Chains A and B, each alone.
Chain A
Amino acid sequence: MKIAVFLPELLRHLFKKPATVDYPFEKLEVPPDFRGTPYLDPDMCIVCKACERDCPAEAIVITDVNPAEKRFRMVIHNDRCIHCAQCVDSCPTNPKAMRMDSLHEIAADDRHKLKAEWVYVRAVLKPKAAAPAAPAAPPRAGEKAS
Protein backbone atom coordinates (compact mmCIF):
# COMPACT_ATOMS: atom_id res chain seq x y z
CA MET A 1 0.00 0.00 0.00
CA LYS A 2 1.41 3.32 -1.09
CA ILE A 3 1.14 6.62 0.71
CA ALA A 4 -0.70 9.44 -1.10
CA VAL A 5 -1.97 7.56 -4.14
CA PHE A 6 -4.26 10.49 -4.78
CA LEU A 7 -1.46 13.05 -5.02
CA PRO A 8 -0.74 12.90 -8.80
CA GLU A 9 -4.44 13.45 -9.52
CA LEU A 10 -4.55 16.39 -7.10
CA LEU A 11 -1.49 18.02 -8.67
CA ARG A 12 -2.88 17.55 -12.16
CA HIS A 13 -6.04 19.39 -11.17
CA LEU A 14 -4.10 22.47 -10.12
CA PHE A 15 -3.56 23.30 -13.79
CA LYS A 16 -7.03 22.51 -15.08
CA LYS A 17 -9.81 24.90 -15.95
CA PRO A 18 -12.62 25.14 -13.38
CA ALA A 19 -15.41 22.61 -13.92
CA THR A 20 -18.08 25.18 -13.13
CA VAL A 21 -19.55 27.96 -15.24
CA ASP A 22 -19.48 31.59 -14.12
CA TYR A 23 -23.26 31.52 -13.98
CA PRO A 24 -24.96 34.90 -14.09
CA PHE A 25 -22.43 36.15 -16.66
CA GLU A 26 -22.15 33.00 -18.69
CA LYS A 27 -25.11 30.74 -19.30
CA LEU A 28 -25.40 27.13 -20.36
CA GLU A 29 -27.79 26.27 -23.12
CA VAL A 30 -30.74 24.08 -22.27
CA PRO A 31 -31.26 20.94 -24.38
CA PRO A 32 -33.87 21.10 -27.17
CA ASP A 33 -36.31 18.85 -25.29
CA PHE A 34 -36.12 20.95 -22.14
CA ARG A 35 -39.41 21.40 -20.32
CA GLY A 36 -39.73 25.07 -19.49
CA THR A 37 -42.95 26.97 -18.85
CA PRO A 38 -46.25 25.93 -20.44
CA TYR A 39 -48.16 28.42 -22.56
CA LEU A 40 -51.35 28.35 -24.60
CA ASP A 41 -51.94 29.06 -28.25
CA PRO A 42 -55.54 30.34 -27.93
CA ASP A 43 -56.19 29.98 -31.68
CA MET A 44 -55.88 26.21 -31.41
CA CYS A 45 -57.61 25.48 -28.10
CA ILE A 46 -60.88 23.52 -28.46
CA VAL A 47 -61.53 23.59 -24.68
CA CYS A 48 -61.59 19.81 -24.29
CA LYS A 49 -60.08 20.34 -20.81
CA ALA A 50 -57.76 17.33 -21.19
CA CYS A 51 -54.87 19.40 -19.85
CA GLU A 52 -56.89 20.49 -16.84
CA ARG A 53 -57.90 16.90 -16.13
CA ASP A 54 -54.40 15.43 -16.41
CA CYS A 55 -52.36 18.17 -14.75
CA PRO A 56 -50.83 16.48 -11.68
CA ALA A 57 -50.37 19.80 -9.87
CA GLU A 58 -53.83 21.17 -10.69
CA ALA A 59 -52.11 24.21 -12.12
CA ILE A 60 -54.44 24.69 -15.09
CA VAL A 61 -57.92 26.13 -14.52
CA ILE A 62 -60.38 26.68 -17.37
CA THR A 63 -63.57 28.63 -16.62
CA ASP A 64 -66.52 29.90 -18.62
CA VAL A 65 -66.56 33.64 -19.24
CA ASN A 66 -69.50 33.92 -21.58
CA PRO A 67 -71.26 30.69 -22.55
CA ALA A 68 -73.23 32.40 -25.35
CA GLU A 69 -70.07 33.55 -27.13
CA LYS A 70 -68.20 30.33 -26.17
CA ARG A 71 -65.63 32.51 -24.49
CA PHE A 72 -63.35 30.85 -21.92
CA ARG A 73 -60.60 31.85 -19.56
CA MET A 74 -57.56 29.68 -18.97
CA VAL A 75 -55.29 30.40 -16.05
CA ILE A 76 -51.97 28.63 -15.68
CA HIS A 77 -50.73 28.87 -12.13
CA ASN A 78 -47.01 28.73 -12.75
CA ASP A 79 -46.40 28.77 -9.02
CA ARG A 80 -47.99 25.31 -8.83
CA CYS A 81 -46.63 24.00 -12.13
CA ILE A 82 -44.17 21.12 -11.81
CA HIS A 83 -43.00 21.41 -15.44
CA CYS A 84 -43.82 17.83 -16.37
CA ALA A 85 -45.34 18.78 -19.76
CA GLN A 86 -48.19 16.31 -19.35
CA CYS A 87 -50.56 19.08 -20.60
CA VAL A 88 -48.64 19.09 -23.89
CA ASP A 89 -48.93 15.29 -24.15
CA SER A 90 -52.63 15.34 -23.31
CA CYS A 91 -53.47 18.09 -25.80
CA PRO A 92 -55.31 16.42 -28.70
CA THR A 93 -55.04 19.16 -31.34
CA ASN A 94 -52.46 19.22 -34.10
CA PRO A 95 -50.45 21.44 -33.83
CA LYS A 96 -50.74 21.48 -30.09
CA ALA A 97 -52.54 24.27 -28.32
CA MET A 98 -50.46 23.69 -25.19
CA ARG A 99 -46.73 24.10 -25.65
CA MET A 100 -43.58 24.40 -23.58
CA ASP A 101 -40.95 27.09 -23.97
CA SER A 102 -37.36 26.84 -22.80
CA LEU A 103 -37.41 29.53 -20.14
CA HIS A 104 -35.95 28.43 -16.86
CA GLU A 105 -35.12 31.65 -15.00
CA ILE A 106 -38.72 32.24 -14.00
CA ALA A 107 -38.40 33.15 -10.33
CA ALA A 108 -40.52 36.01 -9.04
CA ASP A 109 -40.80 37.67 -5.63
CA ASP A 110 -44.55 37.05 -5.44
CA ARG A 111 -46.32 33.85 -6.44
CA HIS A 112 -49.30 35.82 -7.84
CA LYS A 113 -47.05 37.37 -10.46
CA LEU A 114 -46.47 33.90 -11.89
CA LYS A 115 -50.06 33.52 -13.01
CA ALA A 116 -50.58 33.50 -16.78
CA GLU A 117 -54.05 34.15 -18.14
CA TRP A 118 -55.74 33.93 -21.54
CA VAL A 119 -59.33 34.86 -22.45
CA TYR A 120 -60.31 33.47 -25.82
CA VAL A 121 -63.10 32.13 -27.98
CA ARG A 122 -63.13 28.37 -28.43
CA ALA A 123 -61.46 27.34 -31.66
CA VAL A 124 -63.45 25.22 -34.09
CA LEU A 125 -61.09 22.91 -35.92
CA LYS A 126 -62.39 21.09 -38.95
CA PRO A 127 -61.26 17.49 -39.05
CA LYS A 128 -58.49 16.86 -41.61
CA ALA A 129 -58.46 20.56 -42.56
CA ALA A 130 -55.05 22.09 -42.87
CA ALA A 131 -54.35 23.56 -39.49
CA PRO A 132 -53.39 27.23 -39.50
CA ALA A 133 -49.67 27.69 -39.64
CA ALA A 134 -48.09 28.08 -36.25
CA PRO A 135 -47.65 31.76 -35.46
CA ALA A 136 -44.10 32.99 -35.77
CA ALA A 137 -44.12 34.61 -32.35
CA PRO A 138 -46.52 32.81 -30.00
CA PRO A 139 -47.97 35.02 -27.24
CA ARG A 140 -45.80 34.97 -24.18
CA ALA A 141 -46.97 33.81 -20.80
CA GLY A 142 -48.69 36.59 -18.93
CA GLU A 143 -49.81 38.34 -22.08
CA LYS A 144 -53.55 38.70 -22.51
CA ALA A 145 -55.00 37.59 -25.79
CA SER A 146 -58.66 38.21 -26.43
Chain B
Amino acid sequence: MSFEIPIGPQHPALKEPISLRMTVEGEVITNADIRLGYNHRGIEKVAEEKNWTQNIYLAERICGICSHSHATCYVQGVEKLMELQPPRRGLYIRYLVSELERVHSHLLWLGVAGHEAGFDSFFMYVWRDREIVMDLLEMITGNRVHYAINAIGGVRRDLDAGQKAKVLEGVATLKKRSEYYLNLGGTEPSFVARIAGVGRLSRELAIALCATGPTARASGVARDVRKEDPYAVYDELDFEICTADTCDVLGRVVVRIKELLESYKMIEQMVRNLPAGDIACKAPRKAKPGEVVSRYEAPRGENIHYIRANGTDRPERLKVRAPTLGNYPATVEMLKKGFIADIPLIFAAIDPCICCAERAVALIDARGGETAVVRMSDLRRQAIARHLNAPVKGNAAWPL
Protein backbone atom coordinates (compact mmCIF):
# COMPACT_ATOMS: atom_id res chain seq x y z
CA MET B 1 0.00 0.00 0.00
CA SER B 2 1.44 3.35 -0.94
CA PHE B 3 1.02 6.72 0.73
CA GLU B 4 1.79 10.21 -0.43
CA ILE B 5 3.57 12.41 2.08
CA PRO B 6 4.08 16.13 1.52
CA ILE B 7 7.36 17.65 2.63
CA GLY B 8 7.61 21.42 2.54
CA PRO B 9 7.27 24.21 1.54
CA GLN B 10 7.68 24.67 5.28
CA HIS B 11 9.13 21.70 7.04
CA PRO B 12 11.47 21.34 10.02
CA ALA B 13 13.72 18.89 8.19
CA LEU B 14 14.05 20.90 5.00
CA LYS B 15 15.40 24.42 5.17
CA GLU B 16 14.30 25.48 1.72
CA PRO B 17 10.86 26.64 0.57
CA ILE B 18 10.11 23.85 -1.85
CA SER B 19 7.35 21.30 -1.88
CA LEU B 20 8.31 17.65 -2.34
CA ARG B 21 5.55 15.07 -2.59
CA MET B 22 6.79 11.60 -1.90
CA THR B 23 4.94 8.42 -2.71
CA VAL B 24 6.15 5.87 -0.22
CA GLU B 25 5.77 2.15 0.25
CA GLY B 26 6.52 1.71 3.91
CA GLU B 27 9.87 3.46 4.35
CA VAL B 28 10.89 3.34 0.70
CA ILE B 29 10.22 6.19 -1.69
CA THR B 30 8.75 4.98 -4.96
CA ASN B 31 8.07 8.31 -6.61
CA ALA B 32 8.83 11.95 -6.01
CA ASP B 33 7.26 15.12 -7.31
CA ILE B 34 8.83 18.55 -6.96
CA ARG B 35 6.60 21.62 -6.93
CA LEU B 36 8.23 24.99 -7.50
CA GLY B 37 7.08 28.56 -7.27
CA TYR B 38 6.94 29.36 -3.57
CA ASN B 39 9.78 31.84 -3.75
CA HIS B 40 9.11 33.59 -7.04
CA ARG B 41 9.99 37.28 -6.90
CA GLY B 42 9.63 38.45 -10.49
CA ILE B 43 13.26 39.49 -10.80
CA GLU B 44 13.39 38.99 -14.58
CA LYS B 45 10.49 41.39 -15.02
CA VAL B 46 12.07 43.99 -12.73
CA ALA B 47 15.28 43.75 -14.77
CA GLU B 48 13.47 45.07 -17.83
CA GLU B 49 12.75 48.33 -16.01
CA LYS B 50 16.25 49.04 -14.71
CA ASN B 51 19.31 50.22 -16.58
CA TRP B 52 22.44 48.16 -17.22
CA THR B 53 24.23 49.42 -14.10
CA GLN B 54 21.29 48.96 -11.76
CA ASN B 55 20.80 45.42 -13.00
CA ILE B 56 24.23 44.33 -11.73
CA TYR B 57 22.94 44.78 -8.20
CA LEU B 58 19.62 43.20 -9.06
CA ALA B 59 21.34 40.15 -10.57
CA GLU B 60 23.49 39.96 -7.47
CA ARG B 61 20.36 39.69 -5.35
CA ILE B 62 19.00 36.66 -7.19
CA CYS B 63 20.89 34.61 -4.66
CA GLY B 64 22.78 35.30 -1.46
CA ILE B 65 25.42 32.57 -1.49
CA CYS B 66 26.29 32.69 -5.18
CA SER B 67 25.65 36.42 -5.51
CA HIS B 68 28.91 37.02 -7.35
CA SER B 69 28.11 34.20 -9.81
CA HIS B 70 24.93 35.85 -11.02
CA ALA B 71 26.44 39.32 -11.13
CA THR B 72 29.51 38.07 -13.02
CA CYS B 73 27.45 36.03 -15.45
CA TYR B 74 25.31 39.08 -16.18
CA VAL B 75 28.29 41.44 -16.48
CA GLN B 76 30.14 39.02 -18.79
CA GLY B 77 27.14 39.02 -21.09
CA VAL B 78 26.71 42.78 -21.06
CA GLU B 79 30.41 43.28 -21.80
CA LYS B 80 30.05 40.98 -24.79
CA LEU B 81 27.02 42.99 -25.95
CA MET B 82 28.84 46.31 -25.57
CA GLU B 83 32.03 44.84 -27.10
CA LEU B 84 34.12 45.91 -24.13
CA GLN B 85 37.50 44.43 -23.30
CA PRO B 86 38.01 44.77 -19.54
CA PRO B 87 41.64 45.21 -18.42
CA ARG B 88 43.52 42.08 -17.31
CA ARG B 89 43.93 43.28 -13.73
CA GLY B 90 40.20 43.87 -13.42
CA LEU B 91 39.46 40.38 -14.72
CA TYR B 92 41.96 38.79 -12.34
CA ILE B 93 40.37 40.52 -9.36
CA ARG B 94 36.88 39.59 -10.54
CA TYR B 95 37.69 35.89 -10.86
CA LEU B 96 39.74 35.94 -7.66
CA VAL B 97 36.57 36.99 -5.85
CA SER B 98 34.69 34.33 -7.76
CA GLU B 99 37.05 31.58 -6.58
CA LEU B 100 36.89 32.92 -3.02
CA GLU B 101 33.13 32.74 -3.33
CA ARG B 102 33.36 29.13 -4.46
CA VAL B 103 35.45 28.40 -1.36
CA HIS B 104 32.88 30.00 0.91
CA SER B 105 29.98 28.26 -0.81
CA HIS B 106 31.58 24.82 -0.67
CA LEU B 107 32.58 25.26 2.96
CA LEU B 108 29.03 26.31 3.75
CA TRP B 109 27.69 23.27 1.95
CA LEU B 110 30.16 20.97 3.70
CA GLY B 111 28.89 22.23 7.04
CA VAL B 112 25.29 21.69 5.96
CA ALA B 113 26.12 18.15 4.80
CA GLY B 114 27.66 17.44 8.20
CA HIS B 115 24.59 18.85 9.90
CA GLU B 116 22.14 16.85 7.77
CA ALA B 117 24.14 13.69 8.44
CA GLY B 118 23.94 14.39 12.17
CA PHE B 119 27.60 15.35 12.53
CA ASP B 120 27.13 18.73 14.17
CA SER B 121 30.65 19.28 15.50
CA PHE B 122 31.92 18.96 11.93
CA PHE B 123 29.37 21.58 10.91
CA MET B 124 30.56 23.97 13.64
CA TYR B 125 34.27 23.57 12.76
CA VAL B 126 33.72 24.00 9.03
CA TRP B 127 31.65 27.11 9.54
CA ARG B 128 34.23 28.55 11.89
CA ASP B 129 36.86 28.10 9.18
CA ARG B 130 34.50 29.62 6.65
CA GLU B 131 34.74 32.88 8.60
CA ILE B 132 38.33 33.20 7.35
CA VAL B 133 37.20 33.41 3.74
CA MET B 134 34.24 35.63 4.64
CA ASP B 135 36.65 38.07 6.29
CA LEU B 136 38.87 38.00 3.20
CA LEU B 137 35.89 38.80 1.00
CA GLU B 138 34.82 41.61 3.30
CA MET B 139 38.34 43.02 3.22
CA ILE B 140 38.57 42.93 -0.59
CA THR B 141 35.06 44.04 -1.50
CA GLY B 142 33.60 45.81 1.52
CA ASN B 143 30.86 43.36 2.32
CA ARG B 144 30.48 39.78 3.47
CA VAL B 145 27.70 38.59 1.17
CA HIS B 146 26.77 41.04 -1.57
CA TYR B 147 30.26 41.94 -2.73
CA ALA B 148 29.22 44.45 -5.42
CA ILE B 149 32.72 44.24 -6.88
CA ASN B 150 31.58 44.03 -10.49
CA ALA B 151 31.17 47.00 -12.74
CA ILE B 152 30.48 46.87 -16.46
CA GLY B 153 33.99 46.88 -17.90
CA GLY B 154 35.94 45.72 -14.86
CA VAL B 155 35.79 45.82 -11.09
CA ARG B 156 35.28 48.59 -8.55
CA ARG B 157 37.95 47.91 -5.96
CA ASP B 158 41.68 47.41 -6.34
CA LEU B 159 43.86 44.99 -4.40
CA ASP B 160 46.97 46.28 -2.59
CA ALA B 161 50.05 44.42 -1.38
CA GLY B 162 48.80 44.09 2.21
CA GLN B 163 45.53 42.57 1.04
CA LYS B 164 47.37 40.16 -1.26
CA ALA B 165 49.49 38.94 1.67
CA LYS B 166 46.38 38.46 3.81
CA VAL B 167 44.64 36.46 1.05
CA LEU B 168 47.66 34.15 0.71
CA GLU B 169 47.88 33.72 4.47
CA GLY B 170 44.16 32.96 4.81
CA VAL B 171 44.27 30.49 1.93
CA ALA B 172 47.26 28.66 3.45
CA THR B 173 45.30 28.14 6.70
CA LEU B 174 42.22 27.00 4.82
CA LYS B 175 44.26 24.58 2.74
CA LYS B 176 45.52 22.85 5.86
CA ARG B 177 42.01 22.64 7.28
CA SER B 178 40.49 21.34 4.03
CA GLU B 179 43.08 18.58 3.79
CA TYR B 180 42.11 17.58 7.29
CA TYR B 181 38.41 17.54 6.34
CA LEU B 182 39.14 15.47 3.24
CA ASN B 183 40.95 12.97 5.41
CA LEU B 184 38.13 13.05 7.97
CA GLY B 185 35.36 12.76 5.40
CA GLY B 186 36.90 9.55 4.13
CA THR B 187 37.76 7.93 7.46
CA GLU B 188 35.31 8.91 10.18
CA PRO B 189 33.27 5.65 10.20
CA SER B 190 29.94 7.02 11.42
CA PHE B 191 29.97 9.86 8.86
CA VAL B 192 30.95 7.57 5.99
CA ALA B 193 28.33 5.00 6.98
CA ARG B 194 25.65 7.68 6.91
CA ILE B 195 26.47 9.12 3.49
CA ALA B 196 27.93 6.23 1.46
CA GLY B 197 25.47 4.68 -0.96
CA VAL B 198 22.79 7.30 -0.31
CA GLY B 199 21.17 9.09 -3.26
CA ARG B 200 22.70 7.10 -6.09
CA LEU B 201 22.82 8.68 -9.53
CA SER B 202 24.52 6.62 -12.22
CA ARG B 203 26.80 8.20 -14.81
CA GLU B 204 24.34 7.49 -17.64
CA LEU B 205 21.44 9.04 -15.74
CA ALA B 206 23.51 12.08 -14.80
CA ILE B 207 24.19 12.72 -18.48
CA ALA B 208 20.64 11.92 -19.59
CA LEU B 209 19.07 14.19 -16.97
CA CYS B 210 21.51 17.06 -17.57
CA ALA B 211 22.88 17.20 -14.04
CA THR B 212 25.35 20.05 -13.56
CA GLY B 213 28.16 21.00 -11.27
CA PRO B 214 29.40 18.83 -8.41
CA THR B 215 26.32 16.60 -8.71
CA ALA B 216 27.38 15.55 -12.22
CA ARG B 217 31.07 15.42 -11.34
CA ALA B 218 30.37 13.10 -8.39
CA SER B 219 28.85 10.69 -10.93
CA GLY B 220 32.04 10.67 -12.95
CA VAL B 221 31.02 13.21 -15.59
CA ALA B 222 33.97 15.58 -16.00
CA ARG B 223 31.96 18.62 -16.98
CA ASP B 224 33.07 22.10 -16.01
CA VAL B 225 32.55 25.33 -17.95
CA ARG B 226 35.86 26.68 -16.66
CA LYS B 227 37.65 23.89 -18.55
CA GLU B 228 35.33 23.19 -21.48
CA ASP B 229 34.61 26.77 -22.48
CA PRO B 230 37.25 28.77 -20.60
CA TYR B 231 36.03 32.31 -20.10
CA ALA B 232 38.20 35.31 -19.20
CA VAL B 233 41.22 34.15 -17.19
CA TYR B 234 40.60 30.42 -16.79
CA ASP B 235 42.66 29.38 -19.79
CA GLU B 236 45.72 30.88 -18.08
CA LEU B 237 45.25 28.99 -14.83
CA ASP B 238 46.45 25.54 -14.00
CA PHE B 239 43.73 23.42 -12.42
CA GLU B 240 41.95 20.11 -12.82
CA ILE B 241 38.33 19.01 -12.88
CA CYS B 242 37.61 17.00 -9.74
CA THR B 243 35.45 13.94 -10.17
CA ALA B 244 34.43 10.95 -8.12
CA ASP B 245 32.84 7.73 -9.30
CA THR B 246 31.00 6.61 -6.17
CA CYS B 247 27.84 8.35 -7.52
CA ASP B 248 26.47 9.02 -4.03
CA VAL B 249 26.48 11.71 -1.33
CA LEU B 250 29.96 10.63 -0.23
CA GLY B 251 31.18 11.33 -3.77
CA ARG B 252 29.61 14.78 -3.66
CA VAL B 253 31.38 15.54 -0.39
CA VAL B 254 34.71 14.38 -1.79
CA VAL B 255 34.28 16.30 -5.06
CA ARG B 256 33.52 19.51 -3.21
CA ILE B 257 36.50 19.20 -0.86
CA LYS B 258 38.79 18.45 -3.82
CA GLU B 259 37.36 21.47 -5.62
CA LEU B 260 38.21 23.55 -2.58
CA LEU B 261 41.83 22.47 -2.92
CA GLU B 262 41.79 23.34 -6.64
CA SER B 263 40.30 26.74 -5.84
CA TYR B 264 43.09 27.48 -3.34
CA LYS B 265 45.57 26.65 -6.06
CA MET B 266 43.85 29.05 -8.47
CA ILE B 267 43.61 31.81 -5.87
CA GLU B 268 47.34 31.56 -5.20
CA GLN B 269 48.10 31.69 -8.92
CA MET B 270 45.88 34.70 -9.45
CA VAL B 271 47.26 36.64 -6.50
CA ARG B 272 50.88 35.88 -7.45
CA ASN B 273 50.44 36.70 -11.15
CA LEU B 274 48.18 39.72 -10.72
CA PRO B 275 48.98 41.94 -13.73
CA ALA B 276 49.53 45.67 -13.28
CA GLY B 277 47.32 48.27 -14.90
CA ASP B 278 43.81 49.63 -14.70
CA ILE B 279 40.99 47.76 -13.05
CA ALA B 280 38.14 48.98 -15.24
CA CYS B 281 37.42 50.61 -18.56
CA LYS B 282 34.66 53.07 -19.25
CA ALA B 283 31.34 51.57 -20.25
CA PRO B 284 28.75 53.20 -22.50
CA ARG B 285 25.26 53.86 -21.15
CA LYS B 286 23.55 52.05 -24.00
CA ALA B 287 24.10 48.72 -25.71
CA LYS B 288 23.59 48.01 -29.37
CA PRO B 289 20.63 45.77 -30.28
CA GLY B 290 21.61 42.14 -30.03
CA GLU B 291 21.45 39.08 -27.84
CA VAL B 292 23.99 37.10 -25.89
CA VAL B 293 24.25 33.96 -23.82
CA SER B 294 26.69 34.03 -20.96
CA ARG B 295 27.93 30.87 -19.23
CA TYR B 296 29.60 30.76 -15.85
CA GLU B 297 30.60 27.93 -13.56
CA ALA B 298 28.91 28.80 -10.27
CA PRO B 299 29.75 26.80 -7.14
CA ARG B 300 26.59 24.75 -7.72
CA GLY B 301 27.03 24.18 -11.45
CA GLU B 302 26.59 25.92 -14.73
CA ASN B 303 24.83 29.26 -14.58
CA ILE B 304 23.39 30.70 -17.80
CA HIS B 305 22.16 34.21 -18.44
CA TYR B 306 20.48 35.18 -21.68
CA ILE B 307 20.38 38.93 -22.33
CA ARG B 308 18.72 40.76 -25.18
CA ALA B 309 19.31 44.45 -25.85
CA ASN B 310 17.23 46.74 -28.02
CA GLY B 311 19.53 49.74 -28.20
CA THR B 312 18.33 51.49 -25.05
CA ASP B 313 19.99 51.75 -21.66
CA ARG B 314 18.06 48.78 -20.28
CA PRO B 315 17.75 45.13 -21.29
CA GLU B 316 14.74 43.96 -23.22
CA ARG B 317 14.97 40.51 -21.65
CA LEU B 318 17.07 38.87 -18.99
CA LYS B 319 16.66 35.13 -18.59
CA VAL B 320 18.41 33.27 -15.81
CA ARG B 321 18.94 29.52 -15.72
CA ALA B 322 20.36 28.71 -12.31
CA PRO B 323 22.23 25.43 -11.73
CA THR B 324 19.70 24.16 -9.19
CA LEU B 325 16.99 24.08 -11.84
CA GLY B 326 19.17 21.81 -13.96
CA ASN B 327 19.63 19.46 -11.04
CA TYR B 328 15.96 18.91 -10.19
CA PRO B 329 15.30 16.03 -12.63
CA ALA B 330 18.37 14.24 -11.28
CA THR B 331 17.16 14.82 -7.71
CA VAL B 332 13.89 13.02 -8.43
CA GLU B 333 15.89 9.99 -9.63
CA MET B 334 18.18 10.15 -6.59
CA LEU B 335 15.23 10.18 -4.22
CA LYS B 336 13.65 7.07 -5.75
CA LYS B 337 14.37 3.85 -3.83
CA GLY B 338 15.73 5.92 -0.95
CA PHE B 339 14.41 6.10 2.59
CA ILE B 340 12.30 8.87 4.08
CA ALA B 341 15.11 9.68 6.51
CA ASP B 342 17.46 10.31 3.58
CA ILE B 343 15.30 13.00 1.96
CA PRO B 344 16.95 16.02 3.63
CA LEU B 345 20.42 14.58 3.04
CA ILE B 346 19.84 13.79 -0.66
CA PHE B 347 18.13 17.08 -1.28
CA ALA B 348 20.84 19.04 0.53
CA ALA B 349 23.51 17.18 -1.46
CA ILE B 350 22.65 19.00 -4.69
CA ASP B 351 23.24 22.24 -2.76
CA PRO B 352 19.80 23.52 -3.69
CA CYS B 353 19.19 27.22 -3.98
CA ILE B 354 15.47 27.74 -4.35
CA CYS B 355 15.57 31.49 -4.80
CA CYS B 356 17.99 31.04 -7.73
CA ALA B 357 15.75 28.55 -9.46
CA GLU B 358 12.35 30.16 -9.06
CA ARG B 359 12.03 31.99 -12.33
CA ALA B 360 8.35 31.58 -13.15
CA VAL B 361 5.11 30.85 -11.41
CA ALA B 362 1.87 29.61 -12.89
CA LEU B 363 -1.48 29.82 -11.15
CA ILE B 364 -3.52 26.73 -11.94
CA ASP B 365 -7.17 26.53 -11.04
CA ALA B 366 -7.57 23.60 -8.63
CA ARG B 367 -10.98 22.70 -10.06
CA GLY B 368 -10.74 23.42 -13.79
CA GLY B 369 -7.00 22.92 -14.26
CA GLU B 370 -6.65 26.10 -16.31
CA THR B 371 -3.59 28.30 -16.08
CA ALA B 372 -4.37 31.92 -15.35
CA VAL B 373 -2.59 35.22 -15.05
CA VAL B 374 -3.70 37.18 -12.00
CA ARG B 375 -2.69 40.75 -11.36
CA MET B 376 -1.47 41.85 -7.97
CA SER B 377 -4.44 44.23 -7.66
CA ASP B 378 -6.85 41.34 -8.33
CA LEU B 379 -5.18 39.23 -5.68
CA ARG B 380 -5.52 42.12 -3.26
CA ARG B 381 -9.19 42.61 -4.11
CA GLN B 382 -9.83 38.91 -3.59
CA ALA B 383 -8.01 38.96 -0.28
CA ILE B 384 -10.09 41.91 0.96
CA ALA B 385 -13.34 40.26 -0.18
CA ARG B 386 -12.34 37.07 1.57
CA HIS B 387 -11.51 38.97 4.73
CA LEU B 388 -14.87 40.78 4.72
CA ASN B 389 -16.83 37.58 4.13
CA ALA B 390 -14.94 35.59 6.72
CA PRO B 391 -17.03 34.37 9.65
CA VAL B 392 -16.51 36.12 12.96
CA LYS B 393 -13.86 34.29 14.91
CA GLY B 394 -15.08 32.73 18.10
CA ASN B 395 -13.30 30.38 20.41
CA ALA B 396 -11.70 27.63 18.43
CA ALA B 397 -13.80 24.50 18.64
CA TRP B 398 -11.86 21.29 18.99
CA PRO B 399 -13.45 18.86 16.50
CA LEU B 400 -12.86 15.76 18.62
Q: Which A residues are closer than 8 A to B by beta carbons?
A: 1-3, 5-6, 9-10, 13, 19, 30-31, 33-35, 53-57, 82-86, 89-90
- In Å, the complex CA distance between A57 and B122 comes to 39
Asked if A84 contacts B57 (CB within 8 A), the reply is yes
Q: How far is the CA of A15 from the CA of B137 in the complex (A)?
A: 29
Contact assessment for B128 and A82 in the assembled complex, using a CB-CB cutoff below 8 Å: no
Q: Does B50 contact A (CB under 8 A)?
A: yes
* Residues of B in contact with A (beta carbons under 8 Å apart): 50-51, 53-58, 61, 121-122, 125, 128, 131, 138-143, 146, 148, 151, 156-157, 180, 184, 187-189, 192
Q: How far is the CA of A119 from the CA of B357 in the complex (A)?
A: 44
Q: Given A31-B139, A35-B142: A56 and B57 within 8 A (CB)?
A: yes
A3/B57 in contact, CB under 8 A: no
Are B142 and A31 in touch, CB under 8 angstroms? yes
A55 to B188, CA, bound (A): 51
- Docked Cα-Cα span, A82 to B50, in Å, equals 15
**Which of B54, B139, B142 has a CB less than 8 Å from the CB of A54?**
B54
Residue from the list A5, A13, A34 in contact with B187, Cβ < 8 A: A5
Majority secondary structure, B binding face: helix
Known: A3-B189, A6-B122. A83 touches B57 (CB 8 A): no
Q: Is the CB of B142 within 8 A of A1?
A: no
Docked Cα-Cα span, A90 to B54, in Å, equals 11
Question: In the complex, what's the smallest C-beta–C-beta distance from A33 to chain B, in angstroms?
Answer: 4
Given contacts A1-B189, A5-B187, A84-B148, contact A56 B122 (CB under 8 A): no
Cα–Cα distance between A30 and B192 once the two chains are bound (Å): 40
- Give A82 to B146 CA distance when docked, in angstroms: 9
Q: Is A56 touching B187 in the complex (CB atoms < 8 A)?
A: no
Chain A residue at smallest Cβ distance from B57? A56
A33–B148 contact, CB under 8 A? no
Listed by A's residue number, 8 A-B pairs whose Cβ atoms lie within 8 Å are A1-B192, A5-B187, A5-B188, A5-B189, A6-B188, A33-B157, A35-B142, A35-B148
Q: Given A10-B121, A31-B139, A33-B157, do A5 and B184 touch, yes or no (CB 8 Å)?
A: yes
